Structure 1
Amino acid sequence: MAKYEPAVLVLEDGNRYVGRAYGARGRTLGEAVFATGMTGYQETLTDPSYAGQIVLMTAPHIGNTGTNDEDMESRRIWVAGFVVREPSRIVSNFRATRSLDDDLVAGAVVGISGIDTRAVTRHIRSAGAMRAGVFSGEDFSLSDGEQLSLVRDAASMAGRNLSAEVSTPEPFTLEATSERIGSVAVLDLGVKKSTLDYLAARGFDVHVLPQSVTASDVLALDVDALFYSNGPGDPAASDAHVELLRETLKAKLPYFGICFGNQLLGRALGFGTYKLPFGHRGINQPVLDKKTGRVEITSQNHGFAVDAPLEGIIDSPAGLGRVEVSHFSLNDNVVEGLNCLDLNAFSVQYHPEAAAGPHDANYLFDRFRDMVLAGTSSQNTAKDSK
C-alpha cells in the first residue's frame, strides 16, 4: 500500500480536517469556499476570480480527465489552494496532455485530499465562508495553535482589492474573428479567455486593458463600447474602477459587465454591495430573467452582491437615470442583473461565457452586439442629418 504524506485543512473557527497532501507541499492561506461544478475543474482553477481562495470541490472525484492547454482560461492557476475528496489515480481522456496533480505541483498550488468534503461544505453553508489554511510537508508539523494563528492573521476577503494581481500588465488586442462591427475596450479585472473569444466572435476588435487605466485612457481609444470582466475581491475596494465607469457612462459609451462588472455597475449607479454568507460558485445556479420569465442555469463565482430592490424601476442614486433589476437568483433572491433604462448599459452577476458550461446565457453576447450596433447606427444617422 502506498504511503501518503499527511496534510490538514484548518478553518479560522478552529475546525480541522486531516487528510493527504495533494499537489505542492507547504503552506497556503486564503478564504475557504466551495464550488458545486461536477465538470470543468481546469476552468475553475484557471479562473482569476478565484484568486485568494481555497476552493473545495463538492464533486467527490476530481482529475479523471487530466488537463490540457486548450482549456486554460488564463495564463496560470489562480486558486490559493485546492481541496478534493478523491483525486483520480489515472487520467482517462484523449485530450489530456498531463495530470491535474502535475499542474498543481507546477503551479505551486498546495492542496489536500482524502477529507470529508461534504462535511466541510455543510459547515461552510451554515457558518459562512471563512479564512483557512492548508498545511503539508514541514508545515504539517507546526502545532495546532501555530497553524490557527497563521490562518487568523491572514487577510480577509472583505475590503481586499485583488485586481492588480490578476490583470494583464500590458494592453493587447484581439482582432474580430467574424465580420467586424466595431471595437470594445475590456477592463481586465480577471478576464477569462472564453470571454475574449466570444466578444471577438461577435465582430469586435477587443482591446484588453490593464485595470490601472483611466477614463481618459479608455475614451482616447475611440472604441464603440466598454466591457468590465469578472474578477476577485471586494467591489467596495474598487473606487477607481467605479469612477472610471461613471465617467464613461456619462460620456454615453455603451457598457456590458459580468460578475465583478455587475457589482461595479451597481456601485457606479449608487447602490451598495455586501458580502454573501457563502457565495455562489458552480455551474448549476438557477436565475430568473424577469422580462421573459425564462429560468437560466448559470455559471457563477462571486462572494459579494449588489444591494438593490428586486421590484420596480428605481432612479439611480448617483443620478444616472432609471434602472431596474433584470435577473435574480431563485436560490436566495440575490440580484443577478441590472438594466439601465436611460443608458445603453446592462450587466449580469453570472458568467455567460460559462466555460465549461452551461451555455444558457451565451445569448447575452448577442444582446451586447445588437446594443452596440443600434447605438452606432443612431450615431451615424445623427451625423448624416447634420
Structure 2
Amino acid sequence: MADLLLTNVLPRGFDGPVDVRVADGRIAEIGPEIVVGGDVPTIDGGRRPVLPGLVEPHLHLDKAMLLGPERSELADRGTLEGAVSATAAAKENFTHDDVVARAEDVLRRAVRHGTTLVRTPVDVDPTVGLTSIDALLEVKERWAGVVELQVVAFPQEGIAARPGTYDLLVEAMRRGADVIGGCSYAEDDVEGCREHVRTVFDLAERFDVDVDVHADFAPGPGDPRQDLAEHVAAVTAERGWGGRTTIGHVTTMAGLPDERRRRLAGTLAEAGVGLVVLPPTDLYLQGRAAPVAELLDAGVATALSSNNVRNAFTPFGTVDLLDVTMLAAHTQPFGTPEGLDRLLDLATSGAAGLLRVPGHDLAPGSRADLVVLDAPGADHHTALLDRVPRRFVISAGTLVAETVTTATLHGIRTATMMEA
C-alpha cells in the first residue's frame, strides 16, 4: 500500500487549504502544512477542491459500448422491452475477450473521471452462460488497486422464465461473484416475480452475500410486476437482510399517489433497503426518476449511478458520475449549495455505504481514494457546475489518473483593444 502527501487542497467542510498525508494506502492525517520525510511522494493540489473517490454502485460493464456502425440494430428502441430484446440478441455473439475489452474501455473512462469503486451487475442466462461473469472476475483481478470491483450475478431475463438460469447463478456464486442479483419484473406473471425475489434471497442466504435487485422499472404501477418494491422490502425484513439489500430504478414510485409514495419510502427505510437512482436510463426509457429528495428525507439509503453506457438501454453516457449528479439535480429540488452537497454525498461516501464499503470519506483512517477537481481556488459547487476535469485521481494512495487540459480563445477583443 502506498504512502503519499497531497498538499494544498480544499476539502468540503474546511475553512482553507490543507494537506492530506497517506500511509499504507489510508488517510493518516489532514491539516495545514504537514511535514513528511523526503522519500514520500508529494503532489501539489494547487488549491483545488478534493472529493473522496466517486462510486458507481450500478454500472453494467458487460453490456456497455454496444452501439456503433456494426451494431446499429441496437439503437433507437426507446423502450425497456425493446432494449431487453435487442440486448438478448446481442449476447449471442458475446465472447470472453469482447466483454473484457468493452468493460475495460468503460473502466478507463470511469477512472479518468474519478471513480474508484464500482458494483457491476453481470448477465447470467442460458444464452451468455458464464462468459460475462468469468470475464468480469478476470477484470476485477486485473484492475485491483485501481478500481475496487463488486461483481453481481444478475438474471436479467428471469429465472423461471429462462430454465437453466438458476444452476448458472449457483455456479456464478461458486466462481466468486460477490453479490446475487435479481430482476423482479422479468417473470411471466406477478406471482412468478414474487417467487423470483424469494429465490434470490434463498441464494443470498446460501452464499451469505448481499442482494441487488432491479425493480419497478416502469412509468407507473399499471403492471403489477412493476410494483414490487414493497415486496422486496417485506422479504428483506423477513430474512434479516436489512442493510444488505439494494434495489435499482424504482421509477414506478414517482408515479404513485403522494400518500402511497411516502408510505413506500418509509417501508424501504424501515426494512433497511437501499435505493440506487439511475437518471440516464430512467429518464431515457421512462421519462422519470425515483424521488431522491423524498427518499433522503424518509431516511432511505440512496445513491446515484450511470447504469448503462452506450447501449440499447442508454445510447449515451460518459461514465462521469458528476454528469449523472447534475442530471439528478435537474429532476429534483437541489438548486442550493446544501442540495448539491446532498447529491455529492450520494456519489461518494453515501454510495460506498450502500455497498457496505466503510471508510470511504475524507477522514483519518479512510482508504485514500481522492479526486482533485481542476478548479483552482473554486469551491466544490462551482467545480460541479462547471463540469471540470479531474486533475488527479488517487486510489489507495496511488496516483492512477492525471488530466491536464488547456483552452485558448481566439478572436476575443480585450478591454484594452476596445479602448484603443
Fold-level similarity (TM above 0.5): no
Which structure shows the higher strand fraction? 1
- Of structures 1 and 2, the one with the larger relative CO (CA 8 A, separation 6+) is 2
Which structure shows the higher helix fraction? 2
